[in-house]
Amino acid sequence: MLIVAAILAIFVYGMIAAMLGTILPYLSTAFNLTPQENSYIALAQGLGLTLASISVGPLIDNKGKKTGLLLGLSMIAVALFGLPNSTGYVMIMVLILLLGLGGGILVTGANALVSDISDKRRASVLNFLNLFFGLGGFATPFIAGNFFEGNAIQLCYFIAILVVVTITVHALTRMPPPSGERGFKFAEVGDVLGRPVLYLLAGFLFLYVACETGVWNWLPRHLMAQGIPESRSMNILSLGFALGLLIGRMVVAPILIKVAPATVTLYSAVLMMITTFAMLQTNDPGVAWIAVFCAGVAMAPVFPTTLAMVGNAFPKMTATAMGVVITCGWIGLVVSSPIIGAVAGADPTRLKTALLLLPIFSVTMIVVNLALRPMLKTPVPAVGTSATPGKPPRR
């Protein structure tokens, strides 16, 4: 039941992660929103994700995953029921911010919950779980286009009802209560924040999320600038990149039972460097699809496997450490598109140059991973004790 509850939570998060792009055309038409106002709406969601991820860790560590998950799902339900009844731009901003806050709490709580289910197979289980993020991301535009004919109001209500069902399942599911040993203790925050491995893991996820969102947000426009039709460009993104993410996580889950997470993410970073560079070098749709699909497969293990490394490195105050790392990932989401847009300027053909940020960040991921490896092999010091030989433990 814990797995079922976590799957539902991640599936719901995948649906709302893909939702903004689906409903923005409706909101823009209904309220005469400018592109700049649209960008502020997207920023509000990103800020909500960031604020929730950095603040929810102590709550989950102290009050338990169930409390955090129910809180996040409730925020999402309120936002989804409220959006069809919005009266103006300000109300939309507030509800999208609430949607981001709920999503940030949900993704941190669900990954922390699954991280506790199996210590020995943490990376494999987390990759399996995050398959359902991809399925949720597929489901939203598919349902909107094929069942609701683009009707954003019906879509909001449909997902809101699904969220209510998920709340019911979570409320009825028995989840382990927080233990004193794993809980958040303010006096021990320094033991978590003082370990360099936390910042290397955070930097690694920052770089990765910047690359992934760079593909989601900018690849179709780049392909169109190379002369590939819009519909074909969108299919390359969905049936190439998204499909690659799904298949990659299916393939890597059993591999991670035998291969160390640090090794898998190192190979992923190397392949990301190669495939993201390759996808920028062609204007042939078939070749582009192959390169983009391979990029999706390469990226597939990185997010969940990095979270597994966080769980391994921080067996105590896990959600707090995970919240810090996920927050840095969301910062990568906020940062990458403005950088790419600034380099490209008003000329779409310059996106080819701007998107070189992706292979550059991939190279940087390789460097960070190599720095991480010896730290991940070092035995974890007990929280609240001194790691310096010859010194008595701190009380």
Q: Domain with 138 in it: what CATH number?
A: 1.20.1250.20
In a domain, 183, yes or no: no
Q: How many CB atoms lie within 10 A of CB 169?
A: 15
Alpha-helical regions (H) of the chain: 2-17, 19-31, 35-63, 65-82, 89-117, 122-129, 131-146, 152-172, 189-193, 196-225, 230-236, 243-255, 261-279, 285-299, 302-313, 318-344, 351-354, 357-377
Count the residues in the chain. 395
Over residues 235-248, the pLDDT tens digits come to 787 778 878 888 89
pTM of the predicted model as reported, rounded to 2 decimal places: 0.73
Over residues 351-395, the pLDDT tens digits come to 899 899 999 999 999 999 999 999 887 554 544 444 444 444 443
In a domain, 184, yes or no: no
Q: Are residues 284 and 369 both part of a single domain?
A: yes
In a domain, 393, yes or no: no
Residue 176: φ, ψ to 5°: -60, 130
Res. 280: pLDDT tops 50: yes
CA torsion sign, 93 to 12 to 126 to 266? negative
User: What mean pLDDT value characterizes the chain?
Assistant: 83
Over residues 305-345, the pLDDT tens digits come to 998 899 888 887 777 788 889 889 888 877 787 788 778 87
pLDDT, residue 118, reads 61
In a domain, 122, yes or no: yes
Give CA separation, 57 vs 106, 308, 327, in Å.
11, 16, 11
For tokens 């398959």, what's the residue? 131
Q: Are residues 238 and 267 both part of a single domain?
A: yes
Closest CA to 107 of 22, 182, 215, 12: 12
In a domain, 390, yes or no: no
End-to-end CA distance of the chain: 38
Q: Are residues 116 and 236 both part of a single domain?
A: no
Tokens representing residue 55 in the block: 């603040």
In a domain, 92, yes or no: yes
Domain that holds residue 351: 189-379
Share of the chain above pLDDT 70, in %: 87
